[in-house]
Structure 1
Amino acid sequence: MQEGRTYPCDLTDKEWEIIKPLIPVYKRGRKREVNMREVINGLLYMTRTGCQWDYIPKDYPKKSTLWYYFDKWTKDGTWKQFNDELRKQVRVMAGRDPDASAAIIDSQSVKSAQCRTEKGYDGGKKIGGRKRQILVDVLGLLLSVNIHAANKSDITGAKELFELNAEQYQYLSRIWADGGYQGDFKRWLKSNYDITLEIVKSIKYKGYVPKKYQKTKADKLQLNLFDIKDYTKTCNMNKADELRKFKIVKWRWIVERTFSWLINNRRLSKDYESHPKSGESFCYLAMTRLMLNRLTT
């Protein structure tokens, strides 16, 4: 464990030097007495472990202090500013322009624990809770997130995401998405932000399908274990392997990986927050931790 660290998720000295200049300094009022490094460490601990506010370890500031800064920085957009500044640094380190010109959008429905507002049922995924709408660059780094009720359509949530962060998209020229964003969203995006939307469809099996397996919708082949065995007897083995094989969909795999990064943090495995904005802040915290690690290793 490096100097200044109590838990693995705490900031190292190098990481603290990177994030320290980004912390807001208020000109009015008395001198700040709180150890801001420990405040951020405590909130990173909550993000990673899913710890409740009342169970914060005594190594960190008391929960009222942590909540004060978490809530204040949620309202004034500080967590997003952390994410935006660190993302630019990571992009430059990777040899890219600081501002992304292309992005991928997608949504993820998650179960909610004790949501008081913005809660619904996603009939497609059969999940009751909230939906996370995220926009990421080609490195998978978060550009913005919008959390809303799961019963809202992807297009409605995407429009809200763009309207809430309109000033951020002046450099974007192209966005990739799945079929859930087809329709008027493409025209809306082009007319309002001059951004081209490209729908990336899943790769479907185009080989021979025996007549006994042809359903009412030929592009949706549903086989059970016994059918697979019969299929291998009647068809070429290579075609059977093709059916079972997982296929990575170009561009869309990037945003799916970002969802995986997020839910590796227990606080984000479900939606535990009373207000959607708190959930968005924890998403930015999770990505802040990830990008600090990239910048120092």
Structure 2
Amino acid sequence: MGTAVHPASTTPAIWDAFSDVDAFVDEVLTELAAMAADGSRPTHSGPKLALTGAALRKAIMAIWCVCFCGMQWRAIGQLSGVPFGTLYTLFARWTRLGLWRRLLDRLRRTCRLACGDTAEPSAVVIDGRTCLSASSYFARGVDGGKKIRGIKIHLSVEKYGVPLAIDATPANVHDTKGIVPVLRQLAGRGFQGPAIGDLGYRGARLANAGEALGITIQPIARGRDGAFIPTEIAWVVERSFSWTSRYRRLNTIVERTEEHLVAFV
């Protein structure tokens, strides 16, 4: 008797990161050209010729692979054929010049305008996520509640989940203290309005700090009896953290500087 063979049913993934790589590379190249035009990207001056054309596209894709796949710089250098020192130098230089921040701000404005909203939000959602970190990270601590030794990423997002301000602290820093630099970033960009968070953001000290910056802290309950409750728009920050968790470089933190961690986020 023959054996019945049932082919496995395959369904397309709801999200495929590799399908967006070319679009990401195109946007980086567009922003680099804009930075060169407005003078925020100094012209290359050195003994080696700057990467251009296909080599530059390959370098940008390799930097993306470091974040998504969690690869080491030396490993991606071997696979891509671009020296790992060149890749790391490009990433560090573009981070210092603010390329990733410019890309993020343009993405947020384009997304909001396409959805029929104003370019800038009138309310934000704040939260923090504790991540394991390697001993090479510049500072880390122990989150007593989650029993994790590492760092904590503090994030503020608008209603579509696109980040507005990002900061990182050791995991033992309380949310009410770690979120203050994020509030300062928001105020520095002209945001004035409510910042919605969970009940961990209660307290007169944080409320006074927010009031001094023109930001109203609104702590609300997002759970009951251990179950998560999607209250108002407060749930969108949890989705944003789930987006970042898809990128292996952002699950176990190995960056040596806070600036590079924020750049990868």
1:145 aligns with 2:166: yes
Give how far 1:16 is off: 4.3
Where does structure 1 differ by over 6 angstroms across 4 or more consecutive aligned residues?
none
Q: 2:142 maps to which residue? A: 121
- Alpha-carbon separation, structure 1, partners of 2:19 and 2:264: 14
Contact 2:25 2:60 in 1 (8 A): no
Q: 2:235 maps to which residue? A: 253
Q: 1:295 maps to which residue? A: none
Give how far 1:203 is off: 4.3
- Alpha-carbon separation, structure 2, partners of 1:82 and 1:174: 25
Give how far 1:185 is off: 1.0
Contact 1:10 1:41 in 2 (8 A): no
1:9–1:112 distance in 2 versus 1, CA, 3 Å: farther
Q: 2:133 maps to which residue? A: 112
* Match for residue 32 of structure 1 among 50, 56, 60: 50
Give how far 1:117 is off: 1.7
1:246–1:157 distance in 2 versus 1, CA, 3 Å: closer
- Alpha-carbon separation, structure 1, partners of 2:218 and 2:228: 23
- Alpha-carbon separation, structure 1, partners of 2:50 and 2:223: 56
* Match for residue 62 of structure 2 among 39, 42, 58: 42
Contact 2:222 2:234 in 1 (8 A): no
Give how far 1:10 is off: 6.4
- Alpha-carbon separation, structure 1, partners of 2:19 and 2:89: 21
Identity %: 26
- Alpha-carbon separation, structure 1, partners of 2:251 and 2:44: 39
Tell me how large the CA RMSD over aligned residues is: 2.3
After TM superposition, the structure 1 = structure 2 runs for residues 1-297 of structure 1, keeping only pairs within 5 Å, are 8=18, 11-12=21-22, 15-23=24-32, 24-25=35-36, 26-29=41-44, 32-34=50-52, 35-56=55-76, 57-59=78-80, 61-164=82-185, 166-168=187-189, 170-183=190-203, 184-192=205-213, 194-204=214-224, 247-283=229-265
Pair member with larger Rg: 1
Q: Which has the higher contact order (CA 8 A, sep 6+)?
A: 1
TM-score for the superposition, normalised by structure 2: 0.80
Contact 2:66 2:72 in 1 (8 A): yes
- Alpha-carbon separation, structure 2, partners of 1:53 and 1:16: 18
TM-score for the superposition, normalised by structure 1: 0.72
Q: 2:4 maps to which residue? A: none
- Alpha-carbon separation, structure 1, partners of 2:67 and 2:244: 10
Q: Which runs of 5+ in 2 are unaligned?
A: 1-16
Contact 1:114 1:274 in 2 (8 A): no
What SS does structure 1 have at the residue aligned with 2:21? coil
Give how far 1:58 is off: 3.1
Contact 2:127 2:197 in 1 (8 A): yes
Deviations 1:17-56 (A, max 9, x none): 4442211324544573344322221111111111111110
Give how far 1:171 is off: 3.3
What SS does structure 1 have at the residue aligned with 2:196? strand
Give how far 1:118 is off: 1.5
Contact 1:39 1:60 in 2 (8 A): no
Count residues in correspondence: 236
1:117–1:9 distance in 2 versus 1, CA, 3 Å: farther
Contact 2:128 2:152 in 1 (8 A): yes
Q: Which runs of 5+ in 1 are unaligned?
A: 1-6, 206-219, 221-244, 284-297
Contact 1:100 1:172 in 2 (8 A): no
Deviations 1:137-169 (A, max 9, x none): 00000111101111111121111223355422x
